[in-house]
Structure 1
């Protein structure tokens, strides 16, 4: 491997150009009146709600036993939600939701660029002539389509690697400890932290076997990272390990029903992991690293002294293949043993894929280090930058919006949240009943409950990765009639259930029924009595019910607003 270099006292011009490029690329997000596109699925429909409701109820840092968040699932335990110490929560306390998200996104990508540049200049591509290439590769890392709502879970990993390598070589500095604590605060333990800790421990164990000495300072760094996670993620740790009273709905995950079995399905999934990765952690074709590895292995001189790069690359690609096979076949593996080892239902070890983007960039950087200087190396980095940016849906959709080409099925934040539309509903209910949102509960059909939550309604439904199993059982009778009509939806709820939604067999998994062209549900088997027993009073529906009386409902009002993605029919329980 190339030798490490010393820190320079001032950032080099190449880094400034990379920072300016990142800032320029971020300008496509600017739009008046909230007309910015941000990721909808698994993002706006879930990840922004928790910080919003925690701040609105003043419970971001309220970890007392028994504290509940009233706005979700008629009282979701506070300890089932994300930590209040995470920066996205703090930003939502200072700024409106969209500016807070966009600032957080930019800060995450800035941290990603700086951490990758730090790793490359210190250990990957050292030397005075490598600064430009390092800055360009760091920019390619920073624009990857990773979900930034998870903080620096992916893009900040290079900084952890640098610190562990530093601790292996020299005495610790306060900045090393600060970086590790900062990573714990700004990332997710269950998504990436567990695997960063496991990967770091495995690397240190291998290093100890190879060198016959233990890098104790680096090991203490991992211990500090683990302890920091325990502090930051105290709500989760307390609810699952200490209180003994919280039984998560994840205990009923049934992988055998959720994922098609068979060798063919596993191989296809493994191939996708190896070739393009997974969308939460960063979905991009691994073409540039594979081409670079092939070029580096093929262009080495045949005679001695022969660099060991072929062995390094073969080992790296072999490990990546093994991880891909594990992730691809993980659902089948868990499905086979889930009854014997029930805790495996709650832990998704396939999230090991959160380490794959950094591993692939490691292959790319290692290959570039051994390729001769010239246009070939720049072409590979440019290819990686183009592929990463081109697969970054938020960036491409906002660029398309500036050109007037945003698809009608992909609304902007303002159209999706539609504050004017939901304000009409709140005001109408207040005028006719005298009640504020806290006095009644709603549920949504044909639109994510997150939209209602972001408009200050108190919902009985939500998209939650962790909530009480007892609530799932209590909610099921409300939708049992529709689940009986659709085996697909029945499996979706019973064997998974993160989307604790009102379902319709006629709508299927269409959770985004726009005003145009609109939908009508002919027969909806809704258990109004069970809904009322949970405290529900109104159904906010993006689809018209042809026969609401058959569902125990009556039309309360029909609502539309200019620029809103939705048209709403509000139904009230009639019994």
Structure 2
């Protein structure tokens, strides 16, 4: 094929489209908006601290991460074999995150294109290439958490490898894909459910063909073994050595989740039509329109064939939606008899649904004869992904000078100059480095302090020792007594092991423009001091700090920072 022909191919056009999509992050750099919830307020600081303190591959039973929670057990955190670690070791947290953004979406586009061209749209027509490229781009721009690696967007590569092994002898690259996927995905979020989905594919193949595809069995075994190898520290620490009792044993999803069948049905409908934000939240409208269009316009024979393809998928998606929607209520019934259900969230099967909905859409596109209608559906899916990608939209707003005040840039959120000034102020007064004292944060995520070199007693962690939760609770017991909402939030969940104030509620990000004052902060300063705490970094002013056992040392401002920080010291 001539170079000019290759250059104008649909795949290259899709890659150029992806580059345009990524330009806002690349142009803005530190001024980019980075998703905060469950991302910048927790996930990004973890690989940064593991690599900064040379703990990524330190799996000793007594290894701890000093800046988190007075020494969080290292094996409570993500694996050091993840490809995330080299990126954070080589780059600053921001550029490591942006490298994830670029690489994960590129891998997603190429994986979806390869899957479609190999198994779903294999014919040599130009339109099939354009459909595959368009769907690849639509897949790559979905709203995701890049810090989770290829947990979502890399799934087409796994399906491609398994289908290749199911069809024939496969190729060495298929085995390589099954080895690489566990190295850049999150087992507890998606990996376990990808393995379960692969097992269902194996059972479906056995039921259809009445024989076992042993290469598919071997591929599933290899995928499972690789996850066991990559996540060995987690399995060893919790199941074998039992290095600590996880705080997740006190989870009570029955208190946190929806109550009643109406709430369960509403949640199930959201899972079916929208999905879940960790696993890509987007409206399934293109696939649903595709189903209607294909059934309305296709021939009788094509409709029968389509129904055979779609019915199992839609039944499976419906069952998953109902299961996820009612999961908190189901767990509440059996969690005392099966404590493991408190610690491992089985509702994360929803991580499989984005790919399954794209498969539904592809099945419908194959039955449509109208070329314009096919491309219209692909374009609609692309627009849905763009419209629901809040991180991308926020960066577009910044580019055009319409930045949203509640969506600060990475630089404003982390505020390195502001926190460097706080550190210098403490050092000038005491001569102490951050490792020699402990802080806690009120009204701002502790991850901000961690990214700036502070050692925090509080943190947002998915897994930490239960005794630490019990030790931390007295610090905020007075505030929890004022608010049933916060009390349930901490006692029945507790991933956010934060300083809390009933007057703030669940507002854990109080920007400088809010000018908030907490009139009465019921804080146990003696318990805080006993844990080694010296300073409270507060984004809100305390009206009566003396009653909280604190005294104001100084107020810190920076016009470029999202925060205004009040530095309080234990009296």
**Do both proteins adopt the same fold according to a TM-score greater than 0.5, normalized to the shorter chain?**
yes
1:179 aligns with 2:165: no
SS in 1 for 2:439: strand
Q: 1:198 to 1:33 in 2, by over 3 A?
A: closer
Higher normalized helix content (fraction of residues): 2
Query: Residue 174 of structure 1: CA displacement?
Result: 2.0
Does the CA contact (< 8 Å) of 1:116 and 1:159 recur in 2? Answer: yes
Aligned 1:253-402 pairs, distance under 5 A:
253-302=251-300, 307-402=304-399
Q: How many positions carry a matched residue from both structures? A: 564
1:203 aligns with 2:201: yes
Query: Residue 88 of structure 1: CA displacement?
Result: 2.1
Aligned 1:154-553 pairs, distance under 5 A:
154-302=152-300, 307-553=304-550
Q: For structure 1, list consecutive stretches of 5 or more residues without a partner in the other structure.
A: 1-9
Residue of structure 2 equivalent to 1:3: none
Describe the superposition over 1:78-123 as per-residue Cα deviations: whole angstroms up to 9, x where unpaired: 0000111222221111011111100111100000001100110011
SS in 1 for 2:277: coil
Does the CA contact (< 8 Å) of 1:81 and 1:235 recur in 2? Answer: no
Does the CA contact (< 8 Å) of 1:119 and 1:162 recur in 2? Answer: yes
Q: 1:331 to 1:319 in 2, by over 3 A?
A: same
Q: For structure 2, list consecutive stretches of 5 or more residues without a partner in the other structure.
A: 1-5
Residue of structure 1 equivalent to 2:89: 93
Residue of structure 1 equivalent to 2:13: 17
Return the TM-score normalized by structure 1. Answer: 0.96
Moved over 6 A (4+): none
Residue of structure 2 equivalent to 1:112: 108
Provide the rounded CA distance (Å) in 2 between the counterparts of 1:221 and 1:507: 51
Provide the rounded CA distance (Å) in 2 between the counterparts of 1:306 and 1:163: 29
Return the TM-score normalized by structure 2. Answer: 0.97
Query: Residue 245 of structure 1: CA displacement?
Result: 2.8
Describe the superposition over 1:359-415 as per-residue Cα deviations: whole angstroms up to 9, x where unpaired: 100000110011114110111000000010110111111011111112101100000
Does the CA contact (< 8 Å) of 1:515 and 1:542 recur in 2? Answer: yes
Residue of structure 1 equivalent to 2:552: 555
Query: Residue 33 of structure 1: CA displacement?
Result: 6.4
Describe the superposition over 1:413-437 as per-residue Cα deviations: whole angstroms up to 9, x where unpaired: 0000000100000000000000000
Provide the rounded CA distance (Å) in 1 between the counterparts of 2:21 and 2:137: 10
Query: Residue 181 of structure 1: CA displacement?
Result: 1.1
1:75 aligns with 2:71: yes
Does the CA contact (< 8 Å) of 1:181 and 1:224 recur in 2? Answer: yes
1:142 aligns with 2:140: yes
Provide the rounded CA distance (Å) in 1 between the counterparts of 2:243 and 2:81: 24
Provide the rounded CA distance (Å) in 1 between the counterparts of 2:221 and 2:87: 29
Provide the rounded CA distance (Å) in 1 between the counterparts of 2:412 and 2:272: 37
- Higher mean Cα deviation, 293-302 or 545-554? 293-302
Provide the rounded CA distance (Å) in 1 between the counterparts of 2:296 and 2:121: 20
Query: Residue 30 of structure 1: CA displacement?
Result: 2.7
SS in 1 for 2:555: strand
Counterpart among 47, 51, 56 of residue 55 in structure 1: 51
Provide the rounded CA distance (Å) in 2 between the counterparts of 1:260 and 1:204: 34
Does the CA contact (< 8 Å) of 1:541 and 1:570 recur in 2? Answer: yes
Query: Residue 285 of structure 1: CA displacement?
Result: 0.6
CA RMSD of aligned residues (A): 1.2
Residue of structure 2 equivalent to 1:41: 37
Query: Residue 300 of structure 1: CA displacement?
Result: 2.0
Provide the rounded CA distance (Å) in 1 between the counterparts of 2:476 and 2:241: 31
